[in-house]
């Protein structure tokens, strides 16, 4: 399958021209493994202070390879920044140095936080995914290493842009981590090696499930008074496709990514179905159920089942089936994975051929240990391309469900429907990229009716 991303449209190039030109001009400049401070301290700025950002900075400060401290924070909601700061100060007070003049609020706060760093420091980007490419471009311009949460893109144009930015970051010798922490799991790594060595034969089928009750901000009721439409959508970003890719992209990407990793390939097409049920007065854009058939180039399939519905059977796991046996990729949630293999297709004790030991290191911590070690040792480390590809494959399945069509990898990559083309220009006073109708509801996917766009 073609993954050529060199033919960026003029509009795509214009979007990132400032950051890319600045980065290209410095492409030959060596970025230090850490900044030149005598104490060899890596300084960190946190951009996006919600639950995932707070968790990421916790893991960053828990690394043991050398001194590291939090020096700046940014968010569009001051109360969220203060809550995160209070929590991290309580657990890591000696590593926190964020006075009031390094606490920034607003859509441009990410620049101010990164301006507090030096080349070779680290920024954490854990805002809603729509803003990822905007902030990453500035990090490249500043010569700052980056950790960014998944998904890193939400549509075709943002994926093309992110792939181009990834190339620029590699030219600058910048280290980039992406929050697909399952790739750092020791149990999954051992299983991947065993599958690659042929222990279960050729993979013909993968199955992945994230079937659970409501989570995060996947459901949202009408906007309350006292908050703008833009800020409501940013605050409840899982509910809006422009901000996050919706519940599908934000929640299902891990199962998709770990399954494709075991296959050592990305699927070439997807067909899917899904629906909305028991909606009450909810106005979000999400389907409550998603059922997707991904097809790989060799004809193998990945069947993905996603559901956010209270009271229904829950399952959060991924499986691989091969010509000589089968494997459990993950058991229940992200960790511990409890990976194991079987000589048949039934996961029964008598057919067990291997299982990982009982003590699995936390992959959320490992992804940070690996990133900081790469920075200190100045070894190549850049997960941007893989993160963008995983995000694109996720969006491919989502678009298949939302349009009712078969969507190919190349079609998704080259799709021109950009959910929020002016996201880099948003301010606290801006109109929202998505506008509610007279009834207060937002446009939702209509499979078979709207087939070229998701809404």
- What DSSP line would sit under 211-262, residue for residue? EES--TTSS--SPPTTS-HHHHHHHTGGG-HHHHSHHHHHHHHHHHHHHHHH
CA distance 401 to 306: 11
**pLDDT recorded at residue 32:** 54
Confidence of residue 270 (pLDDT cuts 50, 70, 90): very high
The residue that leads in pLDDT, 82 or 21, is 82
| Entry pTM | 0.92
Report the topology of domain 10-182+366-381.
Rossmann fold (3.40.50)
289-295 and 269-275 strand pairing: antiparallel
Q: Is the pLDDT of residue 84 over 70?
A: yes
Q: Are 138 and 130 in contact (CB under 8 A)?
A: no
Confidence of residue 34 (pLDDT cuts 50, 70, 90): low
CA distance 202 to 55: 37
Q: What is the pLDDT of residues 303-355, one digit of tens each?
A: 999 999 999 999 999 999 999 999 999 999 999 999 999 999 999 999 999 99
**pLDDT recorded at residue 12:** 46
CA distance 48 to 34: 23
Q: What is the mean pLDDT of the chain?
A: 93
Q: What is the 3-state secondary structure (H, E, C) of 193-209?
A: HHHHCCCCCCEEEEEEE
Confidence of residue 33 (pLDDT cuts 50, 70, 90): low
The residue that leads in pLDDT, 66 or 17, is 66
CA dihedral of 394, 243, 170, 413, whole degrees rounded to 10: 40
Q: Is the pLDDT of residue 9 over 50?
A: no
Q: What is the pLDDT of residues 137-169, one digit of tens each?
A: 999 999 999 999 999 999 999 999 999 999 999
CA distance 58 to 60: 5
Which of the residue ranges 32-36, 274-278, 416-420 would you say has the lowest mean pLDDT? Answer: 32-36
Q: What SS3 state is found at 363? A: helix
Helix axes 10-25, 156-171, angle to 10 degrees: 20
CA distances from 168 to 4, 22, 48, 83 (A): 16, 10, 23, 35
Residues forming a β-bridge with 210: 306, 316
CA distance 167 to 137: 11
Q: Are 143 and 403 in contact (CB under 8 A)?
A: no
CA distance 308 to 442: 19
**pLDDT recorded at residue 440:** 84
Closest CA to 80 of 40, 43, 53, 117: 53
Q: Are 165 and 135 in contact (CB under 8 A)?
A: no
Q: What is the pLDDT of residues 370-419, one digit of tens each?
A: 999 999 999 999 999 999 999 999 999 999 999 999 999 999 999 999 99
Which of the residue ranges 27-31, 292-296, 348-352 would you say has the lowest mean pLDDT? Answer: 27-31
Q: Which helix (H) or strand (E) holds 111?
A: helix 109-114
The residue that leads in pLDDT, 396 or 26, is 396
CA distance 122 to 260: 29
Q: Is the pLDDT of residue 16 over 90?
A: no
Radius of gyration of the chain (CA): 22
Q: Are 84 and 4 in contact (CB under 8 A)?
A: no
Closest CA to 435 of 417, 415, 455: 455
Q: What is the pLDDT of residues 230-264, one digit of tens each?
A: 999 999 999 999 999 999 999 999 999 999 999 99
Confidence of residue 11 (pLDDT cuts 50, 70, 90): very low
Share of the chain above pLDDT 70, in %: 92
């Amino acid at each position: 399958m073609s993954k050529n991303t060199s033919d960026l449209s003029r509009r795509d190039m214009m979007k990132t021209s400032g950051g890319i030109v600045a980065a290209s001009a410095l492409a030959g400049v060596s970025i230090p493994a850490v900044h030149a401070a005598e104490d060899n301290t890596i300084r960190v700025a946190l951009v996006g202070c919600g639950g995932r950002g707070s968790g990421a900075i916790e893991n960053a400060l828990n690394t043991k390879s050398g001194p590291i401290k939090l020096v700046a924070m940014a968010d569009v909601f001051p109360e969220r920044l203060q809550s995160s700061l209070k929590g991290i100060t309580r657990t890591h007070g000696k590593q926190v140095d964020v006075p009031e003049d390094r606490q920034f609020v607003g859509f441009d706060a990410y620049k101010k936080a990164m301006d507090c760093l030096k080349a070779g420091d680290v920024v954490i980007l854990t805002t809603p995914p729509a803003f990822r490419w905007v902030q990453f471009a500035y990090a490249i311009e500043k010569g700052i290493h980056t950790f960014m949460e998944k998904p890193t893109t939400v549509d075709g144009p943002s994926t093309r842009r992110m792939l181009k930015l990834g190339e620029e970051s590699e030219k600058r010798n910048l280290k980039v981590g992406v929050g697909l922490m399952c790739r750092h799991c020791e149990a999954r790594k051992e299983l991947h090696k065993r599958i690659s060595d042929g222990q279960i034969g050729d993979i013909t089928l993968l199955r992945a499930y994230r079937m659970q009750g409501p989570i995060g901000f996947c459901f949202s009721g009408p906007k309350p008074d006292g908050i703008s439409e833009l800020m409501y959508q940013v605050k409840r970003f899982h509910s809006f496709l422009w901000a996050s890719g919706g519940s599908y992209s934000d929640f299902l990407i891990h199962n998709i990514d770990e399954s494709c990793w075991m296959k050592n390939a990305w699927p070439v097409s997807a067909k899917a179905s899904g629906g909305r049920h028991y909606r009450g007065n909810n106005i979000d854009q999400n389907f409550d159920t998603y059922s997707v058939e991904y097809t790989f180039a060799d004809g193998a399939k990945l069947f993905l089942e996603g559901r956010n519905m209270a009271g229904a059977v829950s399952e959060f796991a991924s499986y691989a089936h091969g010509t000589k046996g089968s494997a459990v990729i993950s058991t229940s949630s992200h960790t511990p994975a409890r990976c194991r293999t079987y000589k048949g297709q039934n996961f029964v004790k008598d057919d067990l051929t291997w299982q990982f030991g009982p003590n699995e290191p936390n992959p959320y911590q490992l992804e940070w240990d690996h990133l900081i070690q790469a920075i200190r040792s100045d070894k190549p480390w850049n997960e941007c391309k893989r993160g963008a590809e995983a995000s694109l494959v996720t969006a491919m399945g989502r678009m298949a469900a939302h349009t009712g069509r078969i969507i190919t990898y190349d079609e998704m990559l080259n799709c021109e429907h950009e959910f929020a083309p002016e996201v880099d220009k948003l301010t606290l006073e801006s109109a929202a990229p998505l506008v509610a109708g007279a009834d207060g509801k937002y446009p939702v996917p209509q499979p078979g009716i709207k087939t070229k766009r998701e809404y």
